[in-house]
Structure 1
Amino acid sequence: MKRLLLLTPALLMGLSLFAGTITVKNVTELHQADKNAKPGDVIILANGEWKDAMLRLGSKGTKEKPITFIAQTPGQVLITGHSNLKIGGQYLIIKGLQFLNGFAGTNAVIEFRLNKDQLANNCRVTECSINEFNNVKRMNENYWISFYGKNNRLDHSYFRNKKNMGVLIAVILDDERSRENHHSIDNNLFDGRPPLASNSGEIIRVGVSQHCQFNSFTNITDNYFKECDGETEIVSIKSGGNIVKNNLFRECQGGVVLRHGDNNTVENNIFLGNYKDGTGGVRVINKGQWVVNNFFFACRGVDFRSPLSVMNGIPNSPAHRYVQVTDAVIANNTFYNCSAASFCEGSDAERTLPPDNVYFANNIFYNTKDTNIYRVSDNMSGFAFSSNTASSAIAQALPAGFVKAAIQAASNNIAPLPAQISKKSAAVPDSIQKVALNRLGHKLPAAVGFGNKGTLQSVYQNAVTASGPVWLRASAKGRWTGMQVPVAECSSAEEVYAAIGRKEPIIIKLTGKEYMLDRPFTIQSHVTFDGNKATIRFSTPAIPAVFMVNGGGHLLLYNLMAEGSNVKAKSFICSDTSGPSNHYNIEMRASGVQGFDRMRGCESIFFSHKSTVADSVIFAGNSFSDNNADIIVMAEEKDDKGYYNAEKILIGQNQLKNINGVLLNVYRGGNDESTMGPKLIFENNTIEACKTPGSQPLISLTGVQQTKVISNTFKNANPQGVVLGYKDIVRARHLLEGNSFKDSGKVAENGFVENRDKAN
Structure 2
Amino acid sequence: MRHLPTLLITTLLGWSGHLTTHASAIKVADVAAFNAAVPNLHPGDTLVLAAGSWRDAQLVFKGTGTEQQPIVLRAERPGATRLMGLSSLRLVGSYLVVSGLDFREGYAPNGGVIEFRDDKKGLANHCRVTECVIDNYNRPIGGSDDKWVHFYGQYNRFDHNYVAGKKTVGVTMVVELPTPESRENHHRIDHNFFGPRPRLGSNAGETIRIGLSETSLTSSRTVVEENYFYHCNGEVEIVSVKSGENVVRRNVFEECEGSVVLRHGNNNLIEGNYFLGNGKTQTGGVRIINAGHKILNNYFADLRGTEFRGALVIMHGVPNSPLNRYSPVHDVAVENNTFVNCSNIELGAGKDAERTQAPANVTLTNNVFYGPQMPQPFHVFEDMSGLKFTHNLLQASGSGPNIAGLEAATFTVQKSADGLLVPVAKGAPKTDIRRPVTAAEAGPRWFRPAAASADTRTGRVLPVATPADLLKAFQTAKANDIIELTQPGIYPVPQTIGVTVPLTLRAKAGVASRPVLLGSNAGQSVFTIENGGKLRLAGVAFDGKGVGAAGLIQSGTQPALEHYSLWANNCAFYGLTDGTGHVFQATTATFADTVQFANCLFYNLAGSALSLATETKDKGTYNAEYVILRNCLFRNVQGSALELYRGGNDESTLGPFLTVDHCTFDNVGGAKSPALMLTGVQWTDIRNSLFNKSGVASAAIKYQELGKSKNRLSNTNFSQSGKVVASYPPRTEKLTYVTTAFAAPQKFDYRLKTPTPQLPVATDGRPVGFVKQ
Does the TM-score normalized on the shorter chain lie above 0.5?
yes
TM alignment of 1:440-459, pairs within 5 A = 452-453=431-432, 456-459=433-436
Superposed displacement of residue 505, structure 1: 3.0
Q: Distance in 1 between matches of 2:316 and 2:141?
A: 37
Q: 1:728: which partner in 2?
A: 705
Q: Does the Cα contact within 8 Å between 1:500 and 1:506 map onto a contact in 2?
A: no
- What is the DSSP-based 3-state SS (H/G/I as helix, E as strand, rest coil) of the residue aligned with 1:471? coil
Q: Distance in 2 between matches of 1:484 and 1:656?
A: 32
TM alignment of 1:494-509, pairs within 5 A = 496=471, 499-500=474-475, 504-509=479-484
Q: 1:577 to 1:489 in 2, by over 3 A?
A: same
Superposed displacement of residue 741, structure 1: 2.0
Q: Distance in 2 between matches of 1:754 and 1:262?
A: 37
Superposed displacement of residue 28, structure 1: 1.5
Q: Distance in 1 between matches of 2:206 and 2:340?
A: 26
Q: Distance in 2 between matches of 1:503 and 1:183?
A: 47
Q: How many percent identity over aligned positions? A: 36
Q: 1:481: which partner in 2?
A: 455
Q: Distance in 1 between matches of 2:711 and 2:608?
A: 23
Q: Does the Cα contact within 8 Å between 1:96 and 1:128 map onto a contact in 2?
A: yes
Q: Does the Cα contact within 8 Å between 1:500 and 1:522 map onto a contact in 2?
A: no
Q: Distance in 2 between matches of 1:476 and 1:546?
A: 36
Q: Does the Cα contact within 8 Å between 2:372 and 2:396 map onto a contact in 1?
A: no
Q: 1:340 aligns with which of 338, 344, 347?
A: 344
- Report the TM-score when normalising by structure 1: 0.91
Q: Distance in 1 between matches of 2:107 and 2:641?
A: 38
Q: Does the Cα contact within 8 Å between 1:392 and 1:406 map onto a contact in 2?
A: no
Q: 1:745 aligns with which of 722, 725, 739?
A: 722
Q: 1:523: which partner in 2?
A: 499
Q: Does the Cα contact within 8 Å between 2:692 and 2:720 map onto a contact in 1?
A: yes
Q: 1:572 aligns with which of 552, 555, 560?
A: 552
Q: Distance in 2 between matches of 1:748 and 1:182?
A: 53
Asked if 1:176 corresponds to 2:152, the answer is no
Q: Does the Cα contact within 8 Å between 1:541 and 1:569 map onto a contact in 2?
A: no
Q: 2:662: which partner in 1?
A: 684
Letter in 2 for 1:482: T
TM alignment of 1:202-241, pairs within 5 A = 202-241=206-245
Superposed displacement of residue 494, structure 1: 7.3
Q: Distance in 2 between matches of 1:605 and 1:708?
A: 22
Q: Distance in 2 between matches of 1:393 and 1:546?
A: 53
Superposed displacement of residue 343, structure 1: 1.6
Superposed displacement of residue 280, structure 1: 1.1
Could you report, residue by residue, the CA deviation over 1:233-268 in whole angstroms, capped at 9, with x for unpaired residues?
A: 110000001000000011111111111111100000
Q: 2:625: which partner in 1?
A: 647
Superposed displacement of residue 334, structure 1: 0.8
- What is the DSSP-based 3-state SS (H/G/I as helix, E as strand, rest coil) of the residue aligned with 1:597? coil
TM alignment of 1:159-558, pairs within 5 A = 159-391=163-395, 393-412=397-416, 413-419=418-424, 452-453=431-432, 456-459=433-436, 462-476=437-451, 481-490=455-464, 491-492=466-467, 496=471, 499-500=474-475, 504-510=479-485, 513-517=489-493, 519-532=495-508, 533-558=513-538
Superposed displacement of residue 559, structure 1: 1.5
Could you report, residue by residue, the CA deviation over 1:583-603 in whole angstroms, capped at 9, with x for unpaired residues?
A: 11111111112222216xx61
Superposed displacement of residue 484, structure 1: 4.6
Superposed displacement of residue 518, structure 1: 5.0
Q: Distance in 1 between matches of 2:590 and 2:25?
A: 48
Q: Distance in 1 between matches of 2:504 and 2:48?
A: 47
Q: Does the Cα contact within 8 Å between 1:497 and 1:521 map onto a contact in 2?
A: no
- Report the TM-score when normalising by structure 2: 0.90
- What is the DSSP-based 3-state SS (H/G/I as helix, E as strand, rest coil) of the residue aligned with 2:440? helix
Q: 1:74: which partner in 2?
A: 78
Q: Does the Cα contact within 8 Å between 2:410 and 2:426 map onto a contact in 1?
A: no
Asked if 1:606 corresponds to 2:606, the answer is no
Q: Does the Cα contact within 8 Å between 2:134 and 2:162 map onto a contact in 1?
A: yes
Could you report, residue by residue, the CA deviation over 1:620-652 in whole angstroms, capped at 9, with x for unpaired residues?
A: 111222222321101111111100000111111
Q: 1:315 to 1:10 in 2, by over 3 A?
A: closer
Letter in 1 for 2:471: V
Q: 2:576 aligns with which of 592, 596, 604?
A: 596
Q: Does the Cα contact within 8 Å between 2:62 and 2:91 map onto a contact in 1?
A: yes
Letter in 1 for 2:259: G
Q: 1:484 to 1:397 in 2, by over 3 A?
A: closer
Q: Does the Cα contact within 8 Å between 2:554 and 2:584 map onto a contact in 1?
A: yes
Letter in 2 for 1:485: G
Superposed displacement of residue 463, structure 1: 2.5
Q: 1:401 to 1:9 in 2, by over 3 A?
A: closer
Q: 1:129 aligns with which of 127, 133, 137?
A: 133
Could you report, residue by residue, the CA deviation over 1:266-317 in whole angstroms, capped at 9, with x for unpaired residues?
A: 0000011122221111111111100000011121222211111111222222
Task: Provide structure 2 residue ranges, at least 5 long, that are not aligned to the other structure.
Answer: 737-759, 761-773
Letter in 2 for 1:418: P
- What is the DSSP-based 3-state SS (H/G/I as helix, E as strand, rest coil) of the residue aligned with 2:363? strand
After the TM superposition, list the runs of 4 or more consecutive aligned residues in structure 1 that deviate by more than 6 angstroms: 420-423
Q: Does the Cα contact within 8 Å between 1:540 and 1:568 map onto a contact in 2?
A: no
- What is the DSSP-based 3-state SS (H/G/I as helix, E as strand, rest coil) of the residue aligned with 2:35? helix
CA-atom RMSD in angstroms = 2.3
Q: Distance in 2 between matches of 1:661 and 1:200?
A: 34
Q: 1:754 aligns with which of 731, 743, 761?
A: 731
Letter in 2 for 1:670: G
- Decide which moves more: 709-718 or 145-154: 709-718
Could you report, residue by residue, the CA deviation over 1:467-487 in whole angstroms, capped at 9, with x for unpaired residues?
A: 01111112148x883335123
Q: Does the Cα contact within 8 Å between 2:252 and 2:435 map onto a contact in 1?
A: no
Q: Distance in 1 between matches of 2:493 and 2:401?
A: 67
Q: 1:44: which partner in 2?
A: 48
Letter in 2 for 1:336: V
Q: 2:638: which partner in 1?
A: 660
Superposed displacement of residue 565, structure 1: 2.2
Q: 1:543 to 1:76 in 2, by over 3 A?
A: farther
- What is the DSSP-based 3-state SS (H/G/I as helix, E as strand, rest coil) of the residue aligned with 2:36? helix
Q: Distance in 1 between matches of 2:314 and 2:668?
A: 47
Q: 1:241 to 1:2 in 2, by over 3 A?
A: farther
Could you report, residue by residue, the CA deviation over 1:316-361 in whole angstroms, capped at 9, with x for unpaired residues?
A: 2233322222211110001111123222222223222222222211
Q: Distance in 1 between matches of 2:12 and 2:681?
A: 54
- Decide which moves more: 527-536 or 402-411: 527-536
Superposed displacement of residue 181, structure 1: 0.5
- Decide which moves more: 490-499 or 182-191: 490-499
- What is the DSSP-based 3-state SS (H/G/I as helix, E as strand, rest coil) of the residue aligned with 1:320? coil
Q: Distance in 2 between matches of 1:160 and 1:348?
A: 36
Q: Distance in 1 between matches of 2:536 and 2:458?
A: 17
Superposed displacement of residue 540, structure 1: 3.2
Q: Distance in 1 between matches of 2:126 and 2:506?
A: 59
Q: 1:517 to 1:371 in 2, by over 3 A?
A: closer
Could you report, residue by residue, the CA deviation over 1:662-717 in whole angstroms, capped at 9, with x for unpaired residues?
A: 2100000101111121011111112223333x312111111111111111122222
Q: How many residues align?
A: 726
- Decide which moves more: 694-703 or 286-295: 694-703
Q: Does the Cα contact within 8 Å between 1:74 and 1:97 map onto a contact in 2?
A: yes
Q: Distance in 1 between matches of 2:463 and 2:99?
A: 50
- What is the DSSP-based 3-state SS (H/G/I as helix, E as strand, rest coil) of the residue aligned with 1:457? coil
Q: 2:67: which partner in 1?
A: 63
Q: Distance in 2 between matches of 1:605 and 1:222?
A: 49
